[in-house]
Amino acid sequence: MRSLAFAVAYWALSIGYGLTAAFAALIPGRDATTWVIRRYVARMVQAMRLLAGIRIEVRGKARLPQGAFIIASKHQSWGDGFATYDQFDDLAFVTGDHLEKFPLLGTVLRKLGAIVVNNCGGREARDSLKQSGAAAHAEGRRILIYPEGNLAKVGEKFRYRSGVWHMYRDFDMPVVPLASNLGLFWPQEAYRKYPGVATLEFLDPIPTGLGKEEFLARLEAVVEDRTAELIAEARGGPVVANVRVLAPDEVRKLAAAAP
């Protein structure tokens, strides 16, 4: 019943606020659209708590640096975006171009200043990150990115992609790793929800100036290690390292190359 109640609320909130945001996008500037989306996110987090029984505990906000920075987050749940966006007044976020296929959503994303990139990655995605990210950086906004590029199952991880490093280098901004175990309670995009306390934890910022390989290795290590610890903490069992699996685009490339 919890999952059903949340599903009804999810679609009611998404349709209602989505239409409102689309009208707000007709107003010059970002303020009106941002106001609507912030209310939408707050109501969604509230519905997670009241209907699905998922309470969000946030740790490590004292570690956040002053000014603009990049948040590089683990991504196990569709709820990650709501829970993280709710922590900031104005957050730019990187999202795949698949969301632009939904009616009106592309307009809302552009008005919000979202950084929309090609899901398949490559040079086109890097160019989008650089151009749209530069606008967010110039405005002094925090930027949220999921370095794996896909929703991972609990206990799994994908290759960390280099887009986050390109922004880190090009904009000379610190990166704040973000670990999460929300996937235990709202797995990926699943209908079934599980009540409990989900934890988001902001980790120590990675200072600017690191080379690509060193930066990506450090980012992956701290996010994946802490995520595994948060999962073990919630389950009450031993810490089990996340296992690397192929991302959907890597699977497609292998299938296409097969004889």
User: In total, how many domains does the chain have?
Assistant: 1
The fraction of the chain above a pLDDT of 70, given in percent, is 89
Strands of 142-145's sheet in order across: 54-59, 196-202, 175-180, 70-73, 142-145, 91-96, 115-117
* Cα 177 to the center of its chain, rounded Å: 11
Does residue 17 lie within any of the structural domains? no
Task: Assess whether pLDDT exceeds 90 at residue 62.
Answer: yes
Task: Assess whether pLDDT exceeds 60 at residue 121.
Answer: no
Does residue 3 lie within any of the structural domains? no
pLDDT score, position 251: 85
User: What is the value of pTM for the model shown?
Assistant: 0.89
Nearest to 100 by CA among 89, 92, 111: 111
Does residue 44 lie within any of the structural domains? no
Does residue 87 lie within any of the structural domains? yes
Q: What's the average model confidence in pLDDT over 27-46?
A: 92
Reported as type and span, the H/E element at residue 102 is: none
Could you tell me if 120 and 140 are in contact, meaning their C-beta atoms sit under 8 angstroms apart?
no
Query: pLDDT band at 127, cuts 50/70/90?
Result: low
Query: pLDDT band at 149, cuts 50/70/90?
Result: confident
Does residue 30 lie within any of the structural domains? no
Does residue 49 lie within any of the structural domains? no
Q: What's the average model confidence in pLDDT over 167-177?
A: 91
Q: Which domain holds residue 79?
A: 55-257
What is the CA angle 156-159-161, rounded to 5? Answer: 140
Average pLDDT, the chain: 88
What digits encode the pLDDT tens for the residues 90-101? 888 887 766 656
Q: What's the average model confidence in pLDDT over 52-80?
A: 94
How many Cα atoms occupy the beta-carbon half-sphere of 7 within 13 Å? 10
pLDDT score, position 103: 61
Query: pLDDT band at 114, cuts 50/70/90?
Result: confident
Does residue 38 lie within any of the structural domains? no
Does residue 183 lie within any of the structural domains? yes
The fraction of the chain above a pLDDT of 90, given in percent, is 59
Tokens matching residue 67: 């000014």
Q: How many CB atoms lie within 10 A of CB 138?
A: 10
